[in-house]
Each structure stands twice: as structure tokens, then as C-alpha cells.
Amino acid sequence: MQKKLLALAIAGVISGGAYAQSNVTISGQVRMSVNQYKLSNVGAAFAASAENHVTDESSRLFIRGKEDLGGGGYASFQIENRFSPDLGAFSAGGNTNLTLGGNWGSLAVGRQDLHYGTALESYLAFTNQNFLGNGPLSQVNGTVIALASRTANSVWYDSPNMSGLTLRVAGSTAFAGAEGSGVRAAGAADPGKGGATNLALNYANGPIKAGYSYWNATVEGGKTAAVGDQRGDTLQFGYSFPMGLKVGIAWNKSKLGLTTGDRSRTAWLLPISYDFGANRVNFTYLSAGDTTGVASSDAKAFTLAFGHALSKRTNVGINYSKLTNEAGATYNLFGGGTSTAATPGADVSQIALTVYHSF
């Protein structure tokens, strides 16, 4: 249940004017797993063993407010704070924004998920590593495109819903978070020249979900041999059958522009889920092709998961994810906390028991 009275009390403490909001709420999600994370094929220079972890899986707290401006217009805000129940840590970092909207759509500024989260994956109870679309599909041989996370310093416009069709146009003045100061050493690259553009066209109506996302970014301070400009294109399509079966496909082509040359690759993702009663079974398969200029750099990954809804707000599950890198590949699962990049060709797997509660 959203704790509206508690939210209003807290907002009143923070700001004497906050109580004037027409609707201020607090909600959130607590996501935890007990898992075993394992690296293998790490090479003679390293040793690897299975590690048992208690892990936060992106728990979060939302404070939201909305005011009716009349004539169909509104002003709203969202503050999303991430916290880690395993460590007792609390920090900012989620989707946080200020929005003006109306019949014409909405215009927002802040930090927001852009481009990478478009892979049609859905789990009742999960770990971050389940999401292959946010992991290998968002990487060029281990280097992430669009941060595989929220884009900082962003401004975006969302169109009205037109019979299921929506358009997003977004830009960022510094997508990785560090803005230029306007002053630099003579002859140095201008750190304020970086930025990003995202265009996304999505359709969701009845059993069909489809979309396209375009990403183009220039790094602050200029590209190097390790950090480059980015280009990404993602297409997706999903269909929900009446008996509870959902099938999807996503295609991604991404490129890094480095001083040593461009690196690009193409990847495919196939998510399948089946709902029966309070249960859901998921299987997702991913294939990433060779990266140009890097021999034997393809990778394969899959996730198998089962989730059960104990109630409308509490889910439990068990899941297994496996990523296999060829000899020149350095892909990672999303949010793994341990990098396979110590040795090209290293593989990673995780088995986890999970609990997910929303409030």
C-alpha cells in the first residue's frame, strides 16, 4: 500500500510548502537474493572459486508528487532512491525527474532510463543478472552502451499515447554524469563537448508490443583507445498469446568509435515466458556476434527462471543465468559485481533464490 499520509508528513518536514501538493506518495520495492556466483576459464594468471552472496537486486524507494495545473496540465516530480538491505546503505541514483505535462505530452528533466532497457524481459522474482537485455545486449564485447543504466543530465519529451504508439525524443549534455566546467588546459580537449541523443518509437496495444530505439553519444573530453563515442540501434517485437504464453525477439547493433578504430557487433535476444496461475516460467537466450577487429569475440548467454506470486505484492523465485565467452570475448552479466574481463574468454554463471516485495 502506498503510504500517502506518511509521505505527506515527511514532505511537510522537508518543506513547509510540500503539503500543498495535490498528491504525494511513498512507495517502493525490496528485492533480495541469496545466490552463488561463479567465474570459470579465467586463465593461468588467475584463480576463481564459487562465491556465496547475499545481494540487493536494485531495491528502491519512490517519493512522487503531482499537481493539477488546470486545463489538462500538470506538474509532477519523482525522487527514486536506491538502497541496499544487504549492507544497510542508502543512496540516490534512480530515475529522478521534474515534469510538466498535458494533452500535448510531457517534458521532463533529470536522470532517466534511456535506450538500453528495451528487451521485453519480465520476471516475477529475479536477480539483475537475469536481464540479458541490460547485460550482453547493451555491450560491445564488455563495454556498455548508454551506460546500461540511467542517463544523467537529460531532457526528454514523451508524446501522448496515440492508439498505443508513443514517441520519446531525449538529449543529454553529459550522459555519464560529469559536466564540463568551461575551463581547461590550453590545447586540451573540451570536456563540455560530449552529449547524447536518444529517439525511441514504441507501440503497445492488445497482444502486441514493439519498438525501435536509437542512441548516439559523444564522450566528454574526446575519445581514446579505451573510451569511445557510441552508436546503438535496437529493434524489438513481442506477442502475448491468450493462454499465457509470451514470445519476443530483440535485435541490437552497437558501435564504439575509438582512436584505434571502430568496434561494432550485432546481437539477438529471444525472451519467452509462460504464466499459469500464480506462476511464471521464463527462458531467455542471447547471441552476440564477433566484434570487428577482435578475433573469436562472440558470446552466448541464457537465463532460466521460475517465479511464484505469494500475493499481489510478494514474489519468490529461483533462477539460473549462464554466460559463455569465446577466447577473445569479455562480456558480463548485468550488475554482476564481478567482472569477467580479467581474462578474455572467461565465463560466468549464477544460481539464485529471490524474494521481491513491493509496498
pLDDT digits (tens, 9 = 90+) for 297-345: 999 999 999 999 999 999 999 999 999 999 999 999 987 655 565 689 9
Residue 153 — φ and ψ, nearest 5°?
55, 45
22 located within any domain: no
Instruction: Check whether 18 has a pLDDT greater than 50.
Output: no
Average pLDDT, integer, range 74-78: 97
Instruction: Check whether 112 has a pLDDT greater than 50.
Output: yes
Q: Share the mean pLDDT of the chain.
A: 88
Quick count: other Cβ atoms within 10 Å of Cβ 307? 24
55 located within any domain: yes
303: amino acid identity, one letter: T
Q: What is the pTM of this model?
A: 0.88
Contact of 298 with 326, CB cutoff 8 Å: yes
3 located within any domain: no
* pLDDT tier for residue 238 given thresholds of 50, 70 and 90: very high
262 located within any domain: yes
Tell me the C-alpha distance between 226 and 132, whole Å.
Answer: 24
Instruction: Check whether 145 has a pLDDT greater than 50.
Output: yes
Question: Residue 42 has what pLDDT?
Answer: 86
Tell me the C-alpha distance between 129 and 349, whole Å.
Answer: 9
Among 19-23, 43-47, 65-69, 207-211, name the one with the lowest average pLDDT.
19-23
Question: Residue 119 has what pLDDT?
Answer: 80
How many structural domains are present in the chain? Answer: 1
Tell me the C-alpha distance between 96 and 113, whole Å.
Answer: 10
Identify the domain containing residue 218 by its residue range. Answer: 32-61+97-358
End-to-end CA distance of the chain: 5
Instruction: Check whether 10 has a pLDDT greater than 50.
Output: no
Tell me the C-alpha distance between 285 and 136, whole Å.
Answer: 11
CATH number of the domain residue 52 falls in: 2.40.160.10
Average pLDDT, integer, range 241-254: 96
Strands (E), 86-142: 89-92, 96-102, 105-113, 139-140
Share of the chain above pLDDT 90, in %: 68
Compute the chain's Rg from CA coordinates: 21
25 located within any domain: no
75 located within any domain: no
* pLDDT tier for residue 2 given thresholds of 50, 70 and 90: very low
DSSP 4: H
Instruction: List Cα–Cα distances, 260 to 145, 194, 226, 231, in angstroms.
Output: 18, 19, 9, 16
Question: Residue 308 has what pLDDT?
Answer: 98
217 located within any domain: yes
Of 182, 204, 202, which is closest to residue 191 (Cα–Cα)?
Answer: 182
345: amino acid identity, one letter: G
Question: Residue 21 has what pLDDT?
Answer: 52
137 located within any domain: yes
